[in-house]
Amino acid sequence: MSLLIFNTLTGKKEPFVPLRENQIGMYVCGVTAYDYCHVGHARAAIVFDTLSRYFQHLRYKVRFVRNFTDIDDKIINRANEEGTDWREVNRKYIAAFYEDMEKLNIAAPTEEPKATDHLPEMLDMIQSLVNQDKAYESEGNIFYAVKSFDGYGRLSGKNIADLRAGARVKINKTKRDPLDFALWKKSKPGEPFWESPWGPGRPGWHIECSAMSKKYLGDTFDIHGGGKDLVFPHHENEIAQSCGCTGKQPVRYWMHNGFVNIDKEKMSKSRGNFFTIREVYKKYHPEVLRLFLISSHYRSPIDFSEKNLADATTVLSRFYEGLASARKKTAQLNEESIPNFREKVNAHPVTKKFETAMNDDLNTAVAVACMNEELRNLNSAAANESASSLEKLAVATTAWETAGKILGLFFLTPEKFEEELFAIKNHSRNLDVGKIEKLIARRKTARQSKNWAEADRCRDELNAMEVVIEDTASGTEWKLR
């Protein structure tokens, strides 16, 4: 049973074999810091965070690099629009990025390099390409000569001859070939610039990833990830640059996640059909968003909709409630009191099923299904009075919870989750908690005197406020529908 990963380069699922035993080098394209992140960014972050967590579960040491593009036309434009400095734009949106990601329980990567901190590395690479005649200067710009690299197009499955250069973008007359791309762009007056052997300018977009992945992970590393939209030209160009420079294949496994759609169409900035992550947080819990995004396979498109988020909310609430009741039932047990606890957890059927799903190209959809199935067992066992089964329940609960944590779930206590969910649901309703509690107390009194009619009246009133009550052994509990 080994891990299979779909490699964009070959178009097939391949057994994953790391370059160095027990150690993985992984580079994921981060964001250009010029605006708030949308749900598409969340998906990419979640996919590769989950992959990293799973690698760690498999006892690999992961060196995870995720960059920030902090110099680019869009950043400069945004600075002009907002009437500030481009550095201020970076500061603002990188801070926002961290806020959004933390709430999604995205773990910090090992390294988070920024393009502008790596000018020497980029200039070195460009120089090397120029020296080898794989890049040329034209009017203060440096372009990569695509024709000099015969592997160009392999990643994206494109035939260079088939590309209709200029079909959608004006042909730049300063290039020798329309497919050539900029390694270095001459700066225009008033733009930020760095000195170079070819005059003042700034790096092209693609070169930063080649330079930074090389610096932090070496000439060849295991995994490079990003959204499908980066396959061409970004990653294609990266291969051309890195390979052109070092003569080595830079990446062993290329992984690309599918898009988040709205009404079947790709969510994107240019279409304007996007929801920022922070907008979503106003109505749905961040962990709900995470669960929703891992409920489909990472390479499939996923349709973002209110119904889907609402369904995910229902499921996650069930997860947390099940976790709470299973833990409550096994509260008097601990790891030490159960012989070979860890081994039992690792050998538990849910652990095995979970690993089988994840080993199949990170099939989180099946992994979530496993959790749903096991939850039924957990709930049944938690409702069972038999003390002899408690040990089993404790093992099963930990196995189940561990699987959830690898998926990046259960980063809150059930109580905290419930509290935050309440806050989100109540945000638009603004219910009077005092009134709710008063009604529950009145119902309690009525029930004690078997005045069912009065008790039901109280409940109807609560129901009208979308308050659902639940009579348990330890008293009446309530939550928002």
Residues 234-293 that bind RNA (CB under 7 A): 234, 257-261, 264-270
- Distance (Å, whole) CA 406 – CA 362: 11
Enumerate residues 370-399 that contact RNA by CB under 7 A.
372-373, 375-376, 379-380, 383
How do 302-303 and 260-262 pair as beta strands?
parallel
SS3 content of the chain, % helix, strand, coil (to 5): 50, 15, 30
**CB nearer RNA, residue 19 or residue 377:** 377
**CB nearer RNA, residue 240 or residue 338:** 240
Structure tokens, 371: 């959790």
Query: CA–CA distance from 125 to each of 71, 122, 215, 246, 354 (Å)?
Result: 18, 5, 11, 9, 43
> Could you say whether residue 21 binds RNA (CB under 7 A)?
no
- Distance (Å, whole) CA 233 – CA 76: 22
- Distance (Å, whole) CA 409 – CA 402: 9
Task: Find residue 361's DSSP bridge partners.
Answer: none
Whether 267 and 20 have beta carbons less than 8 Å apart is answered as no
Q: What minimum distance in Å lies between the beta carbon of 63 and RNA?
A: 20
- Which listed residue (40, 286, 404, 408) binds RNA by CB under 7 A? 40
Q: What minimum distance in Å lies between the beta carbon of 435 and RNA?
A: 19
How would DSSP label each residue in 122-162?
HHHHHHHHHHTTSEEEETTEEEE-GGG-TTTTTTTT--GGG
Number of chain residues interacting with RNA (CB under 7 A): 85
**CB nearer RNA, residue 155 or residue 338:** 155
Q: What minimum distance in Å lies between the beta carbon of 133 and RNA?
A: 23
Q: What minimum distance in Å lies between the beta carbon of 319 and RNA?
A: 9
> Could you say whether residue 17 binds RNA (CB under 7 A)?
no
Enumerate residues 83-112 that contact RNA by CB under 7 A.
none
**Using CB under 7 A, which of the segments 57-65, 139-147, 187-195, 312-320 binds RNA?**
312-320
- Distance (Å, whole) CA 316 – CA 61: 30
340 phi, psi to nearest 5 deg: 55, 40
N- to C-terminal Cα distance for the chain? 43
Q: What minimum distance in Å lies between the beta carbon of 244 and RNA?
A: 17
> Could you say whether residue 315 binds RNA (CB under 7 A)?
yes
Enumerate residues 401-430 that contact RNA by CB under 7 A.
none
Q: What minimum distance in Å lies between the beta carbon of 135 and RNA?
A: 16
- Distance (Å, whole) CA 57 – CA 311: 28
> Could you say whether residue 329 binds RNA (CB under 7 A)?
no
**CB nearer RNA, residue 19 or residue 436:** 436
Enumerate residues 139-158 that contact RNA by CB under 7 A.
156-158
**Using CB under 7 A, which of the segments 138-146, 341-349, 398-406, 469-477 binds RNA?**
469-477
- Distance (Å, whole) CA 227 – CA 255: 8
> Could you say whether residue 76 binds RNA (CB under 7 A)?
no
Q: Closest by alpha carbon to 56, among 87, 88, 32, 24? A: 24
> Could you say whether residue 18 binds RNA (CB under 7 A)?
no
Q: What minimum distance in Å lies between the beta carbon of 346 and RNA?
A: 22
**CB nearer RNA, residue 195 or residue 477:** 477
Enumerate residues 175-234 that contact RNA by CB under 7 A.
181, 205, 226-234
- Distance (Å, whole) CA 238 – CA 186: 20
- Distance (Å, whole) CA 277 – CA 97: 9
Q: What minimum distance in Å lies between the beta carbon of 378 and RNA?
A: 7
348 phi, psi to nearest 5 deg: -65, 140
Q: What minimum distance in Å lies between the beta carbon of 467 and RNA?
A: 10
- Which listed residue (111, 112, 191, 303) binds RNA by CB under 7 A? 303
Q: Which helix (H) or strand (E) holds 252?
A: strand 251-257
Q: What minimum distance in Å lies between the beta carbon of 336 and RNA?
A: 29
**CB nearer RNA, residue 33 or residue 338:** 33
- Distance (Å, whole) CA 78 – CA 76: 5
> Could you say whether residue 27 binds RNA (CB under 7 A)?
no
Q: What minimum distance in Å lies between the beta carbon of 5 and RNA?
A: 13
Helix residue ranges, H only, 330-432: 341-347, 349-359, 364-383, 390-406, 414-427
User: Helices 39-57 & 390-406, crossing angle to 10 degrees?
Assistant: 130
- Which listed residue (15, 21, 139, 159) binds RNA by CB under 7 A? 159
- Which listed residue (15, 21, 150, 168) binds RNA by CB under 7 A? 168
**Using CB under 7 A, which of the segments 166-174, 328-336, 341-349, 433-441 binds RNA?**
166-174
Enumerate residues 334-363 that contact RNA by CB under 7 A.
360, 363
Q: Closest by alpha carbon to 240, among 144, 132, 115? A: 144
- Distance (Å, whole) CA 263 – CA 260: 10
Q: What minimum distance in Å lies between the beta carbon of 339 and RNA?
A: 28
